[in-house]
Amino acid sequence: MARPRSQGPQTRERILDVALELFIERGYDRTSLRDIAQRLGITKAALYYYFERKEQIFIELHLRLHAIAGVILDEIEAVGDGSERVAAWPAMVSRLIVEMTENRNLMLMHRRNQTALVTLYTNEANLLQHEALEARLDRILSSPAITLEQRVRMAAAIGAVTEVFFDSGSAFDHVPPAELRACLQAVVADLLGTQRAPAPA
């Protein structure tokens, strides 16, 4: 099948962005590929060029979170182990907070579409990526070059971020992003026993 002139990497991302909007507005179950195509102003056949099933779109949206985590892990793994990594951790967690704040709609999509999450648990690519990310974080937090107390503080900081953005339901949805980000960064700084975590450049 020839690639329509209107399609390309930007169109693929636009499809995902529009699907994210609809999954939040209407719900995954009540959104069809036709609905997505209509909002985009393209034919259903053009949409099929990238996504033949709605499940593929949901998984791709979820994998955006994997991509964020992967980049942040790349950065922290590039720092020397031990004291260098401990020193870099506040900035890394601050970067994670910023990314999660800017991608709150992804978390909202997950919360509003619980029945669709089964697609994640049965998708091999998602499971492999998830396991790989967990293994990388586990290696960092298991390092013998970092004291137990420091490793516990590092883990607790990550836990605070995931609790606020993933595990607390809609408790913080009404909080303005900048306010939530500033508050969480201050809490993380306390957990890490440092000054306020520096904002990413």
Q: Quickly state the pLDDT bin for 9 (edges 50, 70, 90).
A: confident
> What is the phi/psi pair of residue 171, to 5°?
-55, -30
What is the pLDDT at residue 195?
A: 56
Domain extent listing, the chain: 1-52, 54-192
Q: How confident is the model at residue 194 (pLDDT cuts 50, 70, 90)?
A: confident
Stretch 58-68: mean pLDDT: 95
Average pLDDT score over residue span 149-165: 95
pLDDT value, residue 28: 96
| Structure tokens, 18 | 């529009």
Quick one: pLDDT at residue 5? 45
Which CATH number is 1-52 given?
1.10.10.60
Please give the pLDDT value at position 169: 76
Q: What is the pLDDT of residues 72-100, one digit of tens each?
A: 999 999 999 999 999 999 999 999 999 99
> What topology does CATH give the domain 54-192?
Tetracycline Repressor; domain 2 (1.10.357)
Does 4 have pLDDT greater than 70? no
